[in-house]
Amino acid sequence: MHHLSLAELGEGLRARRFSSIELARHFLDRIERLNPTLNAFITVTAETALAAAEQADRRLAAGEEGALIGVPLAHKDIFCTDGILTTCASRMLSNFVAPYDATVVARLSRAGAVMLGKANMDEFAMGSSNETSWYGPVRNPWDLDKVPGGSSGGSAAAVAARLVPASTGTDTGGSIRQPAALTSLTGLKPSYGRVSRYGMIAFASSLDQAGTLTRSAHDAALLLAQMAGFDPLDSTSVDTPVPDYVGLLAQPLTGLKIGVLKEFFERGLDEEIERRVREALEVYRRLGAQLVEVSLPNLPLSVPAYYVVAPAECSSNLSRFDGVRFGHRCDSPVDLLDLYKRSRAEGFGEEVKRRIMTGTYVLSAGYYDAYYLRAQKVRRLIADDFARAFSQVDVLMGPTTPSPAFAIGTKSDDPVTMYLNDIYTSGVNLAGLPAMSVPCGFQDGLPVGLQIVGPHFAEARLLNVAHVYQRETQWHERIPKGYE
């Protein structure tokens, strides 16, 4: 059953070829057997999963229709789940049990999806390799010595190894697209405001966005159809109609104008990755698309701008975790100051502390104009570059990452080198645009991702472009050895 896609599992359930209980037990058995090696899950919710599967079987027996009724999935451990541990992969929240569901969790639950557990991640979503989790690093099923990408690395590893057919993730600077690229998955980051952020523990509020990690664009469309839409509980949610993502998947690409981003193919890109991406572009040309070279001159400034804006917002968002209002509290403090200092020092990991200190510095009196205000101006220039590009083309394409998955531990002592993994993805978050990563080949046995970027709220177009490509290629159907 773990070979079937989300769509095929839904069809099998409705045709009574297997029950939701059987499905849940099958995947829970795989998690029990394979997760100790991968470390993809922080919490496995077997008991509640079986209860939800039983309820799904009753809905199906009553004749209820629904693409997701009874299908299993995992949630990144950044989404609050009622009565279940939500840690954000941090010691600071290692005993936090949320009293409510995030909107994403609630909507997928109402649609009948069965949650099997909470996926590992970089601590508070800060990282590009899934090595900063307090629960230990996640391993890439394509090569256990390599990282799966971050920060949704647990979600990606779980889907790639067929421990679950689909998972949710979040993307602040590339945290869905990068792990998707490094594990041969389809990762979708919707437009800012398309999916509610209510109940999603904030890292950088103007950049965070919930999305999907699946094996195909078709599966991503099924999930997004339930997750998207206005939420009055989220002040940044946008009240705009949600298209029929599944119904629009098969539109022909004849006449599609693809902008090939000049800045993505310059210095720093691995030669083999460039070759695979250009081969994918040729597939699109054969399908009737027109390729146009496009330049976004301010895009090279996206990494420095991102690493001012994101830490500034994280320093503000994480100030609530002080051992008094929320989070870990140290033992036997001598006074209030000691309680604050030791609780935060013990609760946060090194990368989180680094970003809090950077953010506090760039927001401080005397430095605000020089760093934060200037970064926001650069952000505006980058967004204007994208807007000009989309006046000429329908979508933009390029690589998702500059290199394939790298060995665990090789970049963890050099934060600047690690931050450069975001070079092709962070600009999209600064502009609030939707983007995807789809598998487009392999280099020395490791997956390579093609990034597709669209204008605001063009998720249907992106899914269509990805789906038609996946009908022509088989890269997304490969399974890592040992997880067949």
- In sequence order, what DSSP letters do the residues of 362-404 get, joined into one string? HHSTTTIIIIIIHHHHHHHHHHHHHHHHHTT-SEEEEES-SSS
Check residue 155 and give its pLDDT: 98
pLDDT at residue 422, rounded to an integer: 84
Report pLDDT for 19. 97
- Answer yes or no: is pLDDT of 326 > 90: yes
Whether 38 contacts 146, CB under 8 Å: no
According to the model, what pLDDT value does residue 266 have?
82
Confidence class for position 268, pLDDT limits 50, 70, 90 = confident
The 10s digit of each residue's pLDDT in 218-252 is 999 999 999 999 999 999 999 999 999 999 999 99
From the options 3.90.1300.10, 3.90.550.10, 3.20.20.70, 3.40.50.620, give the CATH code of 6-254+462-477. Answer: 3.90.1300.10
Percent of the chain with pLDDT over 70: 100
Predicted local confidence at residue 56, as pLDDT = 97
Instruction: Spell out the domain ranges in the chain.
Output: 6-254+462-477
Instruction: For residues 204 and 307, give the distance between their C-alpha atoms in angstroms, rounded to a whole number.
Output: 11
Residues marked active site are found at: 76, 151, 175
Residue 75 predicted with pLDDT over 90 = yes
pLDDT of residue 177: 97
Question: Do the Cβ atoms of 117 and 38 come closer than 8 Å?
Answer: no
Residue the block writes with tokens 């496009």:
294
pTM of the model: 0.96
Q: What pLDDT, on a 0 to 100 scale, did the predictor assign at position 416? A: 75
CA distance 166 to 25: 16
- What integer best gives the mean pLDDT of the chain? 95
Which has more pLDDT, 386 or 422? 386
Residue 395 has pLDDT above 80, yes or no: yes
Average pLDDT for residues 305-328, to the nearest whole number?
Answer: 95
pLDDT tops 80 at residue 465: yes
**Region at 123 (left for phi over 0; alpha for psi -120 to 50; beta for the rest):** beta
**What is the β-pairing status of strands 72-76 and 114-119?**
parallel
pLDDT band at 258 (very low <50, low <70, confident <90, very high): very high
What mean pLDDT do residues 451-472 have? 98
Query: For the residues 474-478, what does the mean pLDDT come to?
Result: 95
For residue 411, pLDDT over 90 is answered with no
Query: Considering only 197-206, 261-270, 411-420, which range has the smallest mean pLDDT?
Result: 411-420
Mean pLDDT over 145-170 rounds to 97
pLDDT score of 420? 74
Mean pLDDT of 94-114: 97
In the predicted model, is pLDDT for residue 458 greater than 90?
yes
- What is the pLDDT at residue 393? 98
- Would you say 121 and 154 are in contact if contact means Cβ atoms under 8 Å apart? yes
Q: Categorise residue 7: left if φ over 0, alpha if ψ from -120 to 50, beta otherwise.
A: alpha
124 pLDDT exceeds 80? Answer: yes
Three-state DSSP state, 35: helix
Q: Is the pLDDT of residue 125 over 90?
A: yes
- What average pLDDT does this structure show over 93-106? 97
DSSP 111-138: TT-EEEEEE--SGGG--SSS---TT---
Q: Average pLDDT for residues 433-438, to the nearest whole number? A: 98
Q: Which two tokens stand for residue 267?
A: 């210095």
Binning pLDDT at 50, 70 and 90, where does residue 202 land?
very high
E runs forming strands in 35-94: 41-44, 72-76
pLDDT recorded at residue 388: 97
Residue 153's pLDDT band (boundaries 50, 70, 90)? very high
Q: Mean pLDDT across the stretch 429-445?
A: 97
Residue scoring higher pLDDT (420 or 461): 461
Report the interhelical angle of 6-14 vs 46-61 (nearest 10°).
50
Average pLDDT of the segment spanning 362-384? 94
State how far the Cα of 101 lies from the Cα of 7, in Å rounded to an integer: 25
Percentage, residues of the chain above pLDDT 90: 94
